[in-house]
Structure formats: C-alpha cells, structure tokens
Structure 1
Amino acid sequence: MSNPGSGRDGEHVIFRQYLDAVGLQGLAGAEAAGLHTSEWYALSLLGREGSLTPGELATRTGLTTGATTRLIDRLERAGYARRTPDPTDRRRVHVEPVPDALDRVEEVVGPARRRLAEVLAHYTPDQRALIFDYFARAAPAFRAATEEIRATAPPGRARKSG
C-alpha cells in the first residue's frame, strides 16, 4: 500500500475521505454538546485521563494558559467539568469531568459508536486486531504531526488561542 499522503491515488482519496468524515463527526459532536471543538477535545482528554491540571490541559490542547483558563471556565459553566483542589498541594487544582456530563457525551457519540460497531462486525477478530493496532500506532503519529505543524507554522498563521 502506498503512503496515504504521497499522491492522488485511490488510497489517498479514501484516506482523506475517512479523515474528513472523522473530523466532521467531531465537529457535529461538539456542536450537539453545545461546545467549541477545543472544549470537546479537552473534555475527551478529561474523560480518558480522569483529571488533569490546567497546565497539563494547556500542554495537551496546545492552548495558551489564558485560553485554557477560559476553556475551563466555559466547561464549568456548561456543567461538563469542575475544578477540584489537589489533595497534596493546596496551591494546585485539578480539572475533572462531571460524571453526569460524561453520560451526556455518551449520548452524543452514541450514533458514531453504533455505526462503527456495525462496520467492525464485518471483520474477523484478527482483522479487528489489525485495525486497532493501526489506531494505536496512528494516534501518536497524528499527535507528532500536530506538534510539527504547530512548531513550523509561519508567523501570523499560528492557531488563535481562545
């Protein structure tokens, strides 16, 4: 198989259609939850990690600390997250998801989970293992590519911070 980014062949087109569909589904999920895409991503991080400090959240989202503070404020106002004191260091706080809010998120992503389960049902267990091996390897590659893009963005073209 050729490199998905190497040309306009059929594999490249299929790969782009897949990435566009995933991105569009993420946008629709954020909109359905009443969130901006950066908030949707932050909530996904919190759902996986359980809790993060504001600094960790800033690093993982690529936002400035000020933009992260505003993001956390919006997540709190919407009832999706809360700040909690660090039990070992009173100067620090953690941001954690509100459990009931994650149930609301599950409702939003339900259609995607259901449809993807239908797709995956067509594959053998070995084929599914290969697909999930790809996901496990591709996620860090995409994160590294994101960092590379951010590091090399020309001045004035860098992402807005809020």
Structure 2
Amino acid sequence: MSTDPSATFRRYLSAIVLNSLAAAEAAGLNATDYYALNLLDLAGPLTSGELAVRTGLTTGATTRLIDRLEGSGYVRRAPDPADRRKVMVESTGQPKGLDEVLAGTRTRLAELIQEYPEAERATLFDYFERAATAYQSATDELIAARDA
C-alpha cells in the first residue's frame, strides 16, 4: 500500500470504477447503460437531450442508449408535460438481480463506514456530497471543451 496521497486517491478511484464495471457486467449491462440508469434514478425523468448532456454522448448514441434500455424494459419514453414536442425518459425499474449484485459492495462499505465515529461519518458524507459536485463540474467542463 502506497503512502503517497495521490497514489492512494488514484487507487481508490480505480477501485470504484472497476467495481462499477464489474457490477454492470454482473447485472447484464454495459457501463454506459448502467450509468444512464443510475442518472435517471438519481435525477428522475430527463429529456433525451438532458440525458445526452449528462452522459456526454452524442444525440445519436443517446437515442441508441434509450432504445436499448427501453427494449430491455428499464425505461419508457413519455411526452414532456411542459413541452409536448419533447420526450421524457423515465426509469421503469432497475434490472433484476441488481440489488444482489451490489449487496457485497454495500455490505463492505457499510461495515467500513460504521467503524468511524459519528462525527467522522458526517465528515465523510460531507466529502462525498462536495466531491460529487466537484466531479460533476469538472465533467461538465470536459464535455463543454469537447463540444466547443
């Protein structure tokens, strides 16, 4: 194990990405579909354009993504109540067995977090919230630079 903070953090991030890829595969999904379903679960219904921006996919690739997810029964298209020219993409549920696939990770992380005193857990969750915002901002910048 490295004592270099940068290497430790990179190892942590790599472990998250590799776990997510393995979980997606175990659930019968590719990584993009897995992340799109997670986005819809967290954000609620999105237009196809919003989903394209949030995933960083082109509009054509987003249409194919939605087609795959709809064909598998994970999402449905619905008219946007605010603008009937737009289509909303709504989650219809998660893949069967996803909870079982994620159970080991969830259990290990819950056990780890419970080892910390309550005040330190609060700090961890503050970090998670702030880091998620920082990563999203950095992602938005990368996508904007790519599309410029």
TM-score, with normalisation over the residues of structure 1?
Answer: 0.80
- Structure 1 gaps of 5+ residues are 1-7
Partner of residue 33 from structure 2, selected from 29, 39, 42: 39
* Greater CA drift, 144-153 or 34-43: 144-153
Distance (whole Å) between structure 2 residues aligned to residue 92 and residue 39 of structure 1: 21
Q: Indicate yes or no: 2:93 matched with 1:133.
A: no
Structure having the larger proportion of residues in strand:
2
Distance (whole Å) between structure 2 residues aligned to residue 131 and residue 141 of structure 1: 15
What is the aligned partner in structure 2 of residue 66 from structure 1? 60
Give the secondary-structure state (helix, strand or coil) at the position aligned to 1:83: strand
Calculate the aligned-residue CA RMSD, in Å.
2.1
* Greater CA drift, 48-57 or 87-96: 87-96
Distance (whole Å) between structure 2 residues aligned to residue 89 and residue 30 of structure 1: 33
* Greater CA drift, 73-82 or 63-72: 73-82
Matches within 5 A, 1:23-102: 23-99=17-93, 101=94
Distance (whole Å) between structure 2 residues aligned to residue 13 and residue 88 of structure 1: 47
Tell me: CA distance 1:147–1:49, structure 2 relative to 1, closer, same or farther (3 Å). closer
* Greater CA drift, 48-57 or 102-111: 102-111
Tell me: CA distance 1:151–1:9, structure 2 relative to 1, closer, same or farther (3 Å). farther
How many residue pairs align between the two structures?
146
- Structure 2 gaps of 5+ residues are none
> Does the 8 Å contact 1:58/1:65 carry over to 2?
yes
> Does the 8 Å contact 1:51/1:95 carry over to 2?
yes
Which string of whole-angstrom CA distances, capped at 9 and with x for unpartnered residues, describes residues 112-152 of structure 1?
11110010010011000000111111112112222334455
Q: Indicate yes or no: 2:4 matched with 1:14.
A: no
Partner of residue 113 from structure 1, selected from 103, 106, 124: 106
Which string of whole-angstrom CA distances, capped at 9 and with x for unpartnered residues, describes residues 16-74 of structure 1?
11001000011011111222211111100111122111111011111111110000001
Distance (whole Å) between structure 1 residues aligned to residue 88 and residue 17 of structure 2: 28
> Does the 8 Å contact 1:54/1:95 carry over to 2?
yes
> Does the 8 Å contact 1:83/1:94 carry over to 2?
yes
TM-score, with normalisation over the residues of structure 2?
Answer: 0.87
Tell me: CA distance 1:148–1:93, structure 2 relative to 1, closer, same or farther (3 Å). closer
Shift of 1:106: 2.8
Give me the identity figure in percent: 53
Distance (whole Å) between structure 2 residues aligned to residue 19 and residue 69 of structure 1: 29
* Greater CA drift, 88-97 or 136-145: 88-97
Shift of 1:103: 6.0
